[in-house]
Structure formats: C-alpha cells, structure tokens
Structure 1
Amino acid sequence: MDNEILYRLADSMDAEKFKLLNDLFNGPDTNDIEDIRKHLGNIESERVLVAEYKGNLIGFCCGQLIKSVCYKTYSFELTEIYVEEDYQKKGVGKGLIEHVEFYCNKNNIRKIELLTGSQNFNAQSFYEHLGYTKTNQIHYKKRISELNEKV
C-alpha cells in the first residue's frame, strides 16, 4: 500500500476532501469550505501536505514557515498532522513527516519544531521513533477576545 500513496502539496482542488479530514481531526465546523478553498495552498507562510490513496485524501500535515530577522534561515513548525483512522499505524504519518523533512531539506530549512500534548503519549512515541527529541521549553498561549482600547 505504501508505494501506492501519493504525498504532495495540497491545493484548492483538495478543499472538500480536506474539510472532511479536518472536521474529523479538529471538530466539525472549525473552518468553512469557502475559507479552506480560498486559502488551501495559497497562504505564503504555510505548507499543507496531503497523503492520497486511490484518489482519496487519507491524511494531511500542516506547517508554518517561520522567518526571523535573528536567524539566517527559515524554520518549520509542524502545526497539524492527521491520518484517517483506517490508515493509522500503516506508515502514512511517517510518510507525511518524511516528505516534510524532504521539503525542508530541499529548501534549506534546517530546523523542524512541533508541539504535542503532554499526555499524548502515542504522538510522543511516534515523534521520538522518527528521531525528534523533547525540549525543555514551556509553551504559553493567550486568547485575545477583544481589542484592548489602551493600545
């Protein structure tokens, strides 16, 4: 099966199939089809890779190209990876990551970073199996609910 899977960059023609997978992964209606169609493959700082088997999308991987004035080269942050349940543990996730790494190498991107849940032991094991190492960084976030008038 693995050599029958096509790994490629997504484009707007993948919108409907991508939305089905995204709804399974991130929950229904996290994004609408029009927005997905408009932005899939068109956001300059994002790369979306899909795994296709017999004309159907079975997985995807999203990442952000990050450029800072502090560093000479870009880095890549893996932000999403999902493989449809029927295709999990069959090498599809590994194939997606390998193709991300190939893309990064080809484009002189020398660092890939990602975040996963502290209790998501399956994901941690998966990434460690692929040679990724845990860091000692702590991740913070803040949701901005309304514009602060003081600024």
Structure 2
Amino acid sequence: MSQGNNDVPVSVDRGQACAGGDAPFTPGQARACTVREVLDRVGGKWSIGILVAASQGPVRFTELERCVEGISRRMLTLTLRNLERDGLLHRRVYPTVPPKVEYTATPIALELYESLVTLTNWAERHRTAIAEARAAYDREHGTPS
C-alpha cells in the first residue's frame, strides 16, 4: 500500500513498468496502473495548458504554441497526439492548402476542465509561498537551489 492517499491501492512493484513485463497484473494492480497513467497524462507538464486552451473552443496548433509557454513544436506534437489517443482531444483536419488543423476538447476533457482551472489558479496563488518555502528549506539543509 502506498503512503498518503489510500483511495487507490498501489501494489505494483516499483521496478515493473505499467505496460509489459512477464508476470500478468492482478486486477488491483492493473486498475492502479491505469489510474496512474491517466493522472500522469492529464497532470503532465504540458497537458494542463493544452487542455485548458482547447476547452475554450477549437484551437489551432500555432495558437497552442503561443499560449503554452516554453513548449517546443516537437513536444506540442507529441502531447497533442497522446491527448488525442487518450480521447481528451478531437483533431479535425480541413482540406485546405495548407491544411488547417483544429483541436477541440472532448466531453471527458470538458468534465476535467473545472478541476484543471482550480489547480492552475491554486498554483498561481501559491507559487511565491512555495518558492519561499523551497529557499528556506535549501538554506536550512544546505541544498543548492
């Protein structure tokens, strides 16, 4: 059992990857792994910004590139592909030259939207306090910043 949140049993051996391995997962292990994979995807560094933007309505690749600060074209492409694969984004290609591509949040992503906005607002409100706590911790423990 993991420390902390006891809502989801996590009994997967830390050395074993979620997908693969020789031994089959027990039902509890498969469920915990799936939950972890979903949380990793939607909580990923770039996913939150993309999903928030796409939840406002159709958004194009270049718009996402501008509004998701720091993301590279390659990482944006990979993240969009993964979010589409997971059913969180719908990709629509218009038959124009050059092709016009729009991404829209799916109903399950729209259900997640409020939680993502709450999380990003919380992070914005507390980022200074967290930075100060880190600096104090590093001073106290001699850890370089």
Indicate the structure with greater helix content: 2
TM-score calculated relative to the size of structure 2: 0.21
Bigger CA radius of gyration:
2
Q: TM-score with structure 1 length normalisation?
A: 0.20
Flag the structure with higher strand content. 1
